[in-house]
Amino acid sequence: MIQTDICIIGAGPVGLFAVFEAGLLKMRCHVVDVLPQIGGQLSEIYPKKPIYDIPGYPEVNAQELIDNLAKQIAPFHPTYTLGEKVSMVKKLDDGTFEVATSDGTMIGCKAIVIAAGLGSFEPRKPAIEDLARFEGNGIHYMIKDPEKFRNKRIVLAGGGDSALDWTIFLSSVASHLTLIHRNETFRGAPDSGEKVMNLAREGKIDLYLNADLHAVNGSNHLESITVLDKEQKSFDIDLDYLIPLYGLSPKLGPISGWGIALEKNNIQVSTLDYSTSIPGIYAIGDINTYPGKLKLILCGFHEAAIMAHSAYKFVYPNQKPSFKYTTVSGVHEF
């Protein structure tokens, strides 16, 4: 059995930063993730996606952020179980926990941090016929390598942060880029929305608001899409690739059976320390919910810092943490 102070479920950016915050307090971490590599959604779904709201980085792509987090936590020597799903969590009589994975790996720990993002997830798809026929053959739901779309005719659909960020980025990659959004206003960051509007005003992209996907057309490969405008008039757009970016449909999976208080598909936490209804189990990042919750990476980083100090008191109730600012003490290996 693997023994550690904290078992972190989820190796996305928030889970990795939790390793750093725990490491500053001399707590060891073991990280479990169902994906075969660290990085969570950032590495698996959009490794080249630009991110604009990380402090100190005007722009950083997703995989670069993960690589930097890996370097940041390296001095604390975290251990990993990757490619395995946590299937069971059991609290023992002495207050510690046993964690079991789908492949039979057993982990003993004093506290658990759930940083599982949206849990297991799948892309939300447009409700139109023949979609499956072109999936992987003209229709993609994620962008792993933007170079695949260089000098191609691209249509993006959506109005959230992902659709806006990719519109901005791909506007200088695609030969022709179109963004379709079902509403009059965007759901994403106002600054990103304004940048997209400017691209449209400058003629660098085509933008259709109050418009929706109606049909996909082609023989062996997607050749065009049919769009309905707000007056229900239809028109076709010739293209090479359609990328619907309607977000992800989250599923908690086994977490829903662990006895933790939930609100819909999220874990309820106290904003005092991001603890759950079970003492010793914390939830940080997109998996949790509380009044005023913002699903931003930087908010998850904040939650990780607060959580770590509470977890230290839980793991070592009779010790006082010797925490110092890293600007004074630096980062020291175990």
Question: Could you tell me which residues are beta bridge partners of residue 91?
Answer: 97
Strands 111-114 and 106-109 turn out to be unpaired
First-to-last CA distance in the chain? Answer: 21
On whether the CB atoms of residues 211 and 230 are closer than 8 A, the answer is yes
pTM for the full model?
A: 0.67
Q: Is 76 exposed, middle or buried (0-12, 13-18, 19+ CB in 10 A)?
A: buried
CATH superfamily, domain 2-121+248-329, is FAD/NAD(P)-binding domain (3.50.50.60)
Angle at 331 between CA 27 and CA 53, to 5 degrees: 95
The predicted pLDDT at position 94 comes to 93
Same fold, 2-121+248-329 and 125-244: yes
Q: Tens of pLDDT along the chain (334 residues)?
A: 999 999 999 999 999 999 999 999 999 999 999 887 898 878 766 677 888 889 999 999 989 999 999 999 999 999 999 988 898 999 999 999 999 998 899 999 999 999 988 766 667 899 898 899 999 899 998 787 889 999 999 999 999 888 998 999 999 999 999 999 999 999 988 999 999 999 999 999 999 999 999 999 999 899 999 999 988 999 999 999 999 998 776 667 778 888 999 998 899 999 999 999 999 999 999 999 999 999 999 999 999 999 999 999 999 998 876 655 555 556 655 5
pLDDT for 43 equals 73
**Cα–Cα distance measured from residue 276 to residue 267, given in angstroms and rounded to the nearest whole number:** 7
Compute the distance between CA of residue 14 and CA of residue 22 in angstroms, rounded to an integer: 12
Residue 248 parent element (H or E): strand 248-251
Residue ranges per domain, the chain? 2-121+248-329, 125-244
Question: In the 8-state DSSP scheme, what is residue 283?
Answer: E
Task: Say how far apart CA 282 and CA 47 lie, in whole Å.
Answer: 27
Query: 125-244 has which CATH code?
Result: 3.50.50.60
Partners of 79 in beta bridges: 30
**What letter represents residue 309's amino acid?**
H
pLDDT for res 27: 97
Residue 121: per-residue pLDDT:
61
Distance CA 81, CA 35 (A): 10
What is the number of alpha carbons within 13 Å of residue 78 lying toward its C-beta? 29
> What's the pLDDT score for residue 322?
63
C-alpha span between 277 and 182 (Å, rounded): 39
Give the separation between CA 236 and CA 219, rounded to whole angstroms.
Answer: 15
